[in-house]
């Protein structure tokens, strides 16, 4: 565990980056004014190790590798000597462009790229200047490469100059490398987190211990929106190792010396819960409610041309209603947190995606000032947005405060599913109109969904659609329900890419137009996107399936990246079972490819999650609560269902795009479109389970 104070004591050359009103400032550690706080720390030690303190959560996306390699590039430093540590939470580690410390929105490399290069380059120049002085050699005769200062035949480790370098001024305009000078950027360096993950030594949230700690589980209401009214604890308290049982804001906390004692005790617990609006609701009730909401007037977000009239006058008109379910994040590591609220100090170890919100709940619950709170980010056993919601941290804090002891809270899988914060349910009404040649002239979109990001997520990917459509209408109806909803990898694009991309193919199908051709013409004003679609079609061998019976294509722009998938699919008409054999995918990430293999693995993972959502996933309701209880009733994609995935990466001159999310949204529509062309099946809801598909045959 490292704190800000520890960083200042490290010795060697320590630089920090601070966001000031006029932009970034690079400062030496000791120059950091007391009340100001930098955004990032880097330390080059006397024994020639570079430690980068990264202000992002490593949840599998490779940020512990991607960010340090950018610094190491400009510093020109050997990769084997680079180490990475999580930065302590607090004002110093706020993401400069987001204003809070949060890992999400596929932003990590995007936001930090320039800053990391500058600071690496600054360090390098300071080393060169100090070497020049101490060796009495002009700067031009010195090169700094691979962690060594070289003068003629002689070479000296960077570490030899760190103390002197600390006295050098920070260069105002350090020279950055030309692209052709890159030694790391563009290469797939080995990930820094992989060896300890393979050994079982990586510390996840669930792997933390504290002397004298108590375990806790929380018994949760059987339906959303309820609170515990009456709790009978006598029987439960008789068990060995049980410490205490009491209601908290989200349920009833059961605390014991072991996790298993908590579990046994909760079986003997009797809780009466308060009433709630959704008590008694089953799946059908949700569908009726959302369909009713879809008929209400909402907020009109965008109007281009005259959508109403042009739709009515269109020779080809298609209207469709889409229903998409709540989805569960299913991080393999459930929510878990170790918290300790003491009188004058508060410590939190958490697999959190948001250090800022974690700090906020710690302040609120402990009542202590920020300077008395330590937040330590562990590895995250999956995040996908879920772990940016810190209610689980708040629960651990609340329990610890009451007991005055360190508390390790563990959600069972059943608790984790029940706890909600799902990708919201949605009902979408789409109307599209085209001329006889299949030229799409009108797209009218109306969605009823629980709003995220103040409603922006509801219309994500539609309001900013890259297609040239002269008549566009976008409306959203905000739904409020006690079922908690939250960011789920790719957020609003998950539902909108599905509805929009499948209806595009319905137009193509109705007018006998090739869906690739239709997309290329819709993207006539967007050459970058056109090239993505074109390349995907070429690489996949469009029109000639190799492994499956049918092919489908889908394209979507989100998180700054363009992605197009071509899926090869077969359907067993007897069983309704879909098999996806191969997905060829093209992603355009903008100007640079920092680490190609990280992009590939993120895309492979997004396709897997996208297929899982397309074919299997649905949170089901019974009595107003979640009917699925564990992975046997909330199935995820398995190895035998995983297609071959071929990833092609393109670059273009434009702002940098993200890679963690944008490949997910086009997955489900690519599969659905293959069903349309191959089997004439019109899918308008997810998941495409065999039972559902059979009803369409």
Q: Please, what is the minimum distance in Å from the beta carbon of residue 610 to ligand FES? A: 16
Beta strand 336-341 pairing with 316-324:
unpaired
Binding mask 80-119 for ligand FES (x = CB under 6 A): ----------------------------------------
CB 586 within 8 Å of CB 593: no
Shortest spacing between CB 415 and another protein, in angstroms? 10
Check binding of 63 to another protein (CB under 8 A): no
Q: Which is nearer to ligand FES, 382 or 666 (CB)?
A: 382
Output 206 or 447, the one with its CB closest to ligand FES. 206
Q: Does 601 contact another protein by CB under 8 A?
A: yes
Beta-strand relationship, 373-377 and 346-350: parallel
Out of 60, 62, 174, 666, point to the residue binding ligand FES (CB under 6 A).
60
CA distances from 101 to 54, 56, 63, 112, 619 (A): 11, 7, 14, 12, 30
Using the rule CB under 8 A, is 649 a contact of another protein? no
3-state secondary structure 545-600: CCCCCEEEEEEEEECCEEEEEEEEEEEECCCCEEEEEEEEEEEECCCCCCCHHHHH
The binder of another protein chosen from 227, 264, 302, 402 (CB under 8 A): 264
Q: Which does 277 bind (CB under 5 to 8 A by kind): another protein, ligand FES, none?
A: none
Show the tokens assigned to 29.
Answer: 């550690």
Which span sits near another protein by CB under 8 A: 87-95, 125-133, 373-381, 512-520?
373-381
Q: How many residues does the chain have?
A: 697
Distance CA 97, CA 105 (A): 12
Residues in 358-387 that interact with ligand FES by CB under 6 A = 382
Spatial neighbors of 493 by CB under 8 A, at least 6 apart, are 460, 461, 556, 558, 661, 662, 664, 665
Determine, following the binding rule CB under 8 A, whether residue 103 of this chain makes contact with another protein.
Answer: no
> Read out DSSP for 221-282?
-SSTT--EEEEE-HHHHTSTTEEEEEEETTEEEEEESSHHHHHHHHHT-EEEE---TTTT--
Burial label, 620 (beta-carbon count in 10 A; 0-12, 13-18, 19+): middle
What letters, b where the CB count within 10 A reaches 16 and e where it falls short, cover 561-578? Answer: bbbbbbbbbbbeeeebeb
Site size with another protein, rule: CB under 8 A: 64
Closest contact distance (angstroms) between CB of 159 and another protein is 27
Adjacent-strand bridge partners of 272: 230
Q: Which of 194, 203, 332, 453 binds ligand FES (CB under 6 A)?
A: 332
Whole-angstrom distance, CA of residue 300 vs CA of residue 501: 21
Binds 140: which of another protein, ligand FES, none (CB < 5-8 Å by kind): none
Min. distance of Cβ 675 from another protein in angstroms? Answer: 22
Partner interacting with residue 147 (select from another protein, ligand FES, none; CB below 5-8 Å by kind) = none
- Using CB under 8 A as the binding rule, the residues of this chain from 379 to 418 that contact another protein are 379-384, 410, 412-413
- Smallest separation (angstroms) from ligand FES to the CB of 110: 22
Residue number with CB closer to ligand FES (320 or 414): 414
Q: Determine the Cα–Cα distance for residues 129 and 127; give it in Å rounded to an integer.
A: 5
Query: Which one of ligand FES, another protein, none interacts with residue 304, CB within 5 to 8 A by kind?
Result: none
By CB under 6 A, name the binding residues for ligand FES.
60, 332, 382
By CB under 8 A, name the binding residues for another protein.
59-62, 188, 190-191, 193-195, 197-204, 206-207, 209, 215, 239-241, 258-261, 264, 330-334, 379-384, 410, 412-413, 597, 601, 604-609, 630-632, 636-642, 644-645
């Amino acid at each position: 565990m490292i704190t800000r104070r520890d960083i200042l004591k490290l010795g060697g050359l320590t630089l920090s980056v601070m966001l000031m009103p006029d932009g970034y400032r690079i400062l030496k550690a000791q120059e950091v004014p007391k009340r100001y706080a930098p955004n990032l720390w880097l330390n080059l030690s006397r024994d020639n190790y570079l430690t980068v303190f990264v202000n992002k959560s490593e949840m599998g996306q490779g940020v512990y590798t991607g960010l340090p390699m950018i610094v190491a590039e400009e510093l020109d430093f050997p990769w084997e000597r680079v180490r990475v540590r999580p930065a302590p939470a607090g004002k110093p580690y706020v993401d400069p462009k987001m204003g809070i410390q949060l890992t999400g929105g596929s932003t990590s490399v995007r936001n930090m790229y320039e800053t990391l290069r500058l600071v690496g380059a600054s360090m390098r120049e300071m080393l060169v200047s100090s070497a020049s002085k101490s060796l009495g050699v002009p700067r031009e005769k010195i090169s700094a490469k691979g962690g060594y200062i070289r003068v003629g035949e002689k070479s000296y480790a960077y570490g030899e100059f760190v103390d002197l370098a600390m006295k050098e001024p920070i260069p105002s305009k350090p020279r950055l490398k030309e692209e052709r000078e890159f030694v790391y950027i563009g290469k797939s360096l080995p990930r820094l987190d992989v060896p300890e993950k393979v050994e079982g030594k990586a510390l996840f949230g669930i792997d933390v211990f504290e002397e004298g700690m108590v375990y806790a589980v929380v018994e949760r209401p059987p339906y959303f929106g309820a609170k515990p009214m009456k709790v009978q604890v006598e029987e439960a308290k008789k068990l060995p190792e049980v410490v205490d049982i009491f209601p908290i804001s989200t349920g009833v906390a059961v605390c014991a010396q072991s996790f298993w004692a908590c579990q046994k005790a909760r079986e003997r617990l009797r809780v009466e819960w308060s009433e709630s609006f959704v008590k008694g609701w089953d799946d059908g009730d949700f569908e009726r409610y959302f369909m009713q909401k879809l008929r209400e007037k909402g907020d009109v977000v965008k109007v281009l041309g005259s959508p109403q009239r042009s739709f009515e006058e269109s020779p080809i008109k298609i209207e469709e209603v889409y229903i998409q379910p709540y989805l569960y994040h299913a991080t393999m590591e459930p929510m878990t947190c170790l918290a300790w609220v003491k009188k004058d100090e508060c410590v939190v170890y958490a697999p959190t995606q948001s250090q800022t919100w974690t700090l906020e709940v710690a302040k609120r619950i402990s009542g202590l000032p920020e300077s008395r709170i330590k937040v330590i980010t562990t590895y995250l056993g999956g995040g996908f947005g879920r772990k940016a919601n810190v209610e689980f941290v708040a629960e651990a804090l609340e329990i610890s405060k009451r007991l005055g002891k360190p508390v390790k809270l563990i959600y069972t899988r059943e608790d984790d599913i029940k706890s909600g914060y799902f990708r919201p349910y949605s009902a979408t009404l789409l109307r599209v109109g085209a001329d006889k040649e299949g030229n799409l002239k009108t797209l009218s979109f109306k969605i009823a969904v629980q709003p995220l990001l103040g409603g922006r997520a509801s219309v994500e990917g539609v309001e900013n659609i890259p297609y040239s459509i002269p008549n566009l209408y976008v409306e959203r109806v905000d739904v409020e329900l006690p079922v908690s909803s939250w960011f789920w990898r790719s957020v609003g694009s998950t539902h909108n890419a599905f509805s929009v991309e499948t209806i595009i193919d319905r137009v193509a199908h109705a007018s006998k137009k090739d869906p690739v051709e239709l997309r290329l013409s819709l993207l006539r004003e967007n050459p970058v996107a056109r090239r993505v679609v074109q390349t995907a079609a070429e690489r996949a061998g469009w029109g000639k399936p190799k492994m499956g019976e049918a092919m489908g294509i889908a394209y979507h722009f989100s998180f700054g990246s363009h992605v197009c998938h071509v899926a090869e699919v077969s359907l067993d008409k007897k069983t309704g079972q879909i098999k996806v054999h191969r997905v060829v995918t093209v992603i355009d990430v903008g100007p640079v490819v920092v680490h190609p293999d990280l992009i590939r693995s993120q895309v492979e993972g997004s396709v897997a999650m996208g297929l899982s959502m397309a074919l299997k996933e649905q949170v089901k309701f019974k009595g107003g609560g979640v009917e699925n209880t564990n992975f046997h009733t909330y199935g995820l994609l398995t190895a035998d269902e995983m297609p071959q995935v071929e990833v092609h990466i393109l670059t273009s001159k434009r702002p940098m795009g993200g890679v963690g999310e944008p490949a997910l949204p086009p997955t489900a529509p690519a599969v659905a479109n293959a069903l349309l062309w191959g089997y004439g099946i019109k899918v308008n809801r997810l998941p495409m389970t065999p039972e559902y598909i059979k009803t369409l045959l």
